[in-house]
Amino acid sequence: MHAHLDVVVDGSGLERPRAGVGVYTTQILRAMAVQRPDSHLIVFGPRGGVMYAPNTDYRLLPQARLIGRHLRWPAEIRRLKPDVYFGPAGALPLGRIGTPSAIAVHDLAIYRNPRWFPPRQPLSTRIVVPRSVLRADVLIAVSESTARDIQEFFGLDRGRIHVIPHGVSKRLRPMSAEERAEARARLALPERFILFVGTIEPRKNLETLLDAWVLMRDRPDLVVVGSWGWRYEAIRDKMARLGPRVHHRESVEPDELPAYYNLARVLAHPAWYEGFGLPPLEAMACGTPVVVSDSSSLPEVVQDAGLIVPAGDAEAWRKALERVLDDSELAADLRHKGILRAAQFSWERAAGETWRALDEAVT
């Protein structure tokens, strides 16, 4: 263990603080700063980004996408002579940084299926990501599933990859009956509802959930929490056609999210692909039963604490959701298992393992 490390950090994920990489960046850096108070984090991030953490400096990333990010910024890093570079967003600048590096790879979904993404990402997909993965001294994968993808797409040796799962915020916990009643009134949420949390885009597969919801008998309301991503027009039209019992909340304050999880009867997460998949873990931490798809990292995160269903099979989703809603014994069992499973994930543990990965990059 290196007692004192000067770490340069890519804080570009803070541009979208509520998206997966933004949440990861904030949480991992806070926990790392607390864990090694003698080390110093120099976070380069966007204008308007913030990083409240001890012994952390915040500086602006050069604005110009190509020249700023890939030439000016590396020159600034070389001048600072840090001990190590940490890339929570999974990338290294193309220019030489002159220091050991570790990057966190969240998901390689774009290599699995380019149609899930907007068309204009060739620089990132063809050059930045492959070069970053191949040049970093140490790679952090957020799940075994992502580690397998790194090996498959880039032919990397498994020995260079540390699997370090996300943590789950302490705010996510079961609420008391009084807290729940107060939150339901304040947020104007229905008495019984199924919850979906995630950006509305093809990869999240909200479509299958909507199809399953239509098939359900005695169906509760459906609450969709998430911003519009891309290629969402068909899903938006379908949601509008399904009427007032489908509620869309486009932007929910992070402080309110625990209440949504607590009030839901069940969280449905039908994604075709996740690098990790935080919403099921967050729901489990709140004691809410989860039904997830059988793809990528989701079975690994949930294990036997949730129901696992084929991603595109609306009929199987209908059955699984009805089982959880109709069988109170099953729901209680999933609630109990979910809380225990979620307790195994913490940002403190993730931070400790991340520091070990940085130590390894330096030695």
pLDDT digits (tens, 9 = 90+) for 102-127: 999 998 877 777 776 776 666 677 78
pLDDT of residue 52: 80
Other beta carbons within 10 Å of 168:
23
Query: What does residue 307 show for φ and ψ, rounded to 5 degrees?
Result: -90, 140
pLDDT in tens, 288-338: 999 999 988 999 999 999 999 999 999 999 999 999 999 999 999 999 999
The model's confidence at residue 191, banded by pLDDT at 50, 70 and 90, is very high
Q: What are the respective helix, strand and coil percentages of the chain, to the nearest 5?
A: 45, 15, 35
**Mean local confidence (pLDDT), 268-278:** 90
Domain boundaries, the chain: 6-167+346-362, 177-342
Query: What does residue 42 show for φ and ψ, rounded to 5 degrees?
Result: -115, 105
3-state per-residue secondary structure call for 183-241: HHHHHCCCCCEEEEECCECHHHCHHHHHHHHHHCCCCCEEEEECCECCCCHHHHHHHHH
**Dist. CA 325–CA 261, nearest whole Å:** 15
Distance between alpha carbon 275 and the CA centroid of its chain, in Å?
A: 8
**Mean local confidence (pLDDT), 6-33:** 90
pLDDT of residue 230: 84
**Mean local confidence (pLDDT), 76-82:** 97
Q: Domain 177-342: which CATH class?
A: alpha beta
The model's confidence at residue 55, banded by pLDDT at 50, 70 and 90, is confident
The model's confidence at residue 51, banded by pLDDT at 50, 70 and 90, is confident
H helices of the chain, where?
Answer: 20-35, 67, 73-80, 109-112, 122, 129-135, 144-154, 177-187, 206-215, 233-241, 257-263, 278-285, 298-302, 314-326, 328-342, 347-362
Regarding beta strands 307-309 and 290-293, do their DSSP bridges make them parallel or antiparallel, or are they unpaired?
parallel
Q: Domain 6-167+346-362: which CATH class?
A: alpha beta
**Mean local confidence (pLDDT), 57-85:** 91
pLDDT of residue 262: 98
pLDDT of residue 121: 64
pLDDT of residue 112: 74
Q: Do domains 6-167+346-362 and 177-342 have the same CATH topology?
A: yes
- 10 Å CB burial of residue 130 (0-12, 13-18, 19+) is middle
With CA atoms as reference, report the closest residue to 86 among 17, 12, 170.
Answer: 12
**Dist. CA 161–CA 73, nearest whole Å:** 26
pLDDT in tens, 196-251: 999 898 889 999 999 999 999 999 999 999 988 888 899 999 999 999 999 999 98
Where is pLDDT greater, at 65 or 334?
Answer: 334
Tokens for 254, please give them.
């992070």
pLDDT of residue 5: 96
Decide if 95 contacts 71 (C-beta within 8 A).
yes
**Dist. CA 36–CA 60, nearest whole Å:** 24
pLDDT of residue 120: 65
pLDDT in tens, 345-357: 999 999 999 999 9
pLDDT in tens, 120-166: 666 677 788 889 999 999 999 999 889 989 999 999 988 899 999 99
**Dist. CA 358–CA 333, nearest whole Å:** 39
